Amino acid sequence: MSDKVSAKPDLKQRVTDFTQKYKVGEFFQKYTMIIALVVVTIVFATWKGKEGLILLPSNLTGLIAENAYVFVLAAGMLLCILTGGNIDLSVGSVVCFTAAIGCVMMASGINIWIAVLVMLAIGLAIGVFQGFWISKVRVPAFIATLAGMYAFRGFSNVVLNGYRVDISNETFLMLFGNGKTSFIPDFVRDLFPGLNGVFTKENAFLTGLIGENFVTKFNVTCMCIGLIAALIFVIFKVRKILVQKKLGISQSIAGQTVSIVLIAALALWVSFKLSCYRGFPMVLIWVGLVLGVYAYITNKTAIGRHLYAVGGNEKATALSGVKTRNVYWFAYANIGLLAGLAGILTAGRAKGIDPVYGEGYEMDAIAACFIGGASAYGGTGKVSGMIIGAILMGVINKGMIIVGVDANYQKVVKGIVLLIAVMFDVLSKRQKR
């Protein structure tokens, strides 16, 4: 009896205790953008009259294909931003230029592998060239790449003669495009023909799980890839926790478990959705590869560490025996290479190249990095954050198209999102002090 009476006035206290014990404030600070992503997705998914549209398998596949260039370019941009808030304005033009050269080569019948290699090599060469001015001559990055932005847009026009050039090479479009062919074929089904008998509308359990529309063409291979990826992820994370435990590194097991389970579940959900449509898109392989490699570079390699250190304190890094100018060079050479890859993907998706393609790509990449928590002064920022930033922008874009927002207002919304995201970041950092 008395317990009940005293419980009520303590509610406020209990809420505070709860917030402090489970570090609710810290949680919100750390996962602001993920929460924003979830909220935005829910808003679009429950939009009156368009319920669930954004979560349709075809829209999810489209989301990945349309934003592939953002992920690729933002990975490179992040490294530049890490060195001290430096950006590369030229990538949009470089994307167009490399794609133009590749398309012209393929149109004249040159082997596509040579064309692909040339595109990557040209991207890298441009990056090395711009990086030289930035790192050795110390032209401010903003200006050096602004010059590149003009020059390579001009060169693209020259190469293309001002006209569009189309690609008809099936292999190229299969590998880098997003047409019907650009998915991993369902070879698991081919290996086990018996599966065709299982995935039928008569199978009540699977029909209930997958849905009547999708069950017969459900892509088993894609689901397998998702399962394997999730499994590998869980194994690696658990191993890491065990090693850390052995070393006596303090950690919150509960928090890590929650995040592992959530990420694995998300991977499974995405692969499930993709399996319902056409399967695993080829583009996702390239994007996944780039993101994986760059997450590794930034986390685990010496050059990655040097990028953070230069952005944090260039003088101290130089006095620690690091050749800081070469770090800048690396960052800009690298984004050139990735612009070459983005050029390939852009040409593949558009089945050709037009002299105006790639305009504004640099801004999308920059925005993804900053929304993802990279510091405009350099030294902080993660690939994982950038991924969230890029997805958030992609979802907002897609969502606005689905619910029918006017194209002009879409840009207004993008601008507001960028401002709010960076504002949150600045405010949360100020609070810490």
The residues, any chain, with a CB within 8 Å of residue 66's CB and separated by 6 or more, are 349, 394, 397, 398
End-to-end Cα distance, the chain: 45
Q: Where are the alpha helices (DSSP H) in 161-252?
A: 170-176, 187-191, 195-198, 204-210, 220-247
CB 149 within 8 A of CB 362: yes
Q: Look at the block and give the residue holding tokens 């590369």.
A: 88
Which listed range, 29-37, 38-46, 186-194, 244-252, lies at the site for other proteins (CB under 8 A)?
A: 244-252
Q: What's the closest the beta carbon of residue 348 comes to other proteins, in angstroms?
A: 32
* Rounded-to-integer distance, Cα 154 and Cα 358, Å: 13
CA 356 to chain centre: 23
* Closest C-alpha to 182, from 62, 265, 82, 81: 62
Which listed range, 2-10, 128-136, 342-350, 372-380, lies at the site for other proteins (CB under 8 A)?
A: 372-380
Using rule CB under 8 A, residue 244 touches other proteins: yes
* Closest C-alpha to 90, from 360, 378, 391: 360
* Rounded-to-integer distance, Cα 289 and Cα 304, Å: 17
| For other proteins, the closer CB: 217 or 305 | 305
Using rule CB under 8 A, residue 16 touches other proteins: no
C-alpha dist (Å) from residue 329 to 139, 280, 324: 12, 36, 9
Enter the DSSP assignment of 148: H
Copy the structure tokens of residue 26. Answer: 């810290």
User: Of residues 38, 171, 320, 409, which one binds other proteins by CB under 8 A?
Assistant: 320
Q: What's the closest the beta carbon of residue 336 comes to other proteins, in angstroms?
A: 21
Which listed range, 220-228, 320-328, 350-358, 408-416, lies at the site for other proteins (CB under 8 A)?
A: 320-328
User: Of residues 24, 209, 231, 243, which one binds other proteins by CB under 8 A?
Assistant: 243
Q: What's the closest the beta carbon of residue 309 comes to other proteins, in angstroms?
A: 5
User: Of residues 59, 275, 375, 397, which one binds other proteins by CB under 8 A?
Assistant: 375
Using rule CB under 8 A, residue 45 touches other proteins: no
| For other proteins, the closer CB: 15 or 209 | 15
Using rule CB under 8 A, residue 323 touches other proteins: yes
Q: How many residues does the chain have?
A: 433
User: Of residues 45, 312, 363, 405, which one binds other proteins by CB under 8 A?
Assistant: 312
| For other proteins, the closer CB: 83 or 275 | 83
| For other proteins, the closer CB: 33 or 322 | 322
Judged by CB under 8 A, the chain residues 290 through 309 that form the site for other proteins are: 299-303, 305, 308-309
Using rule CB under 8 A, residue 430 touches other proteins: no
CA 94 to chain centre: 19
Copy the structure tokens of residue 1. Answer: 């009896």
Using rule CB under 8 A, residue 412 touches other proteins: no
| For other proteins, the closer CB: 6 or 431 | 431
User: Of residues 194, 250, 254, 430, which one binds other proteins by CB under 8 A?
Assistant: 250
C-alpha dist (Å) from residue 403 to 52, 98, 160, 393: 11, 35, 37, 15
Number of residues that bind other proteins (CB under 8 A): 28
The amino acid at 202: E
Q: What's the closest the beta carbon of residue 319 comes to other proteins, in angstroms?
A: 6
Using rule CB under 8 A, residue 253 touches other proteins: no
Binding site for other proteins (CB under 8 A): 243-244, 247, 249-250, 299-303, 305, 308-309, 311-313, 315-323, 375, 379-380
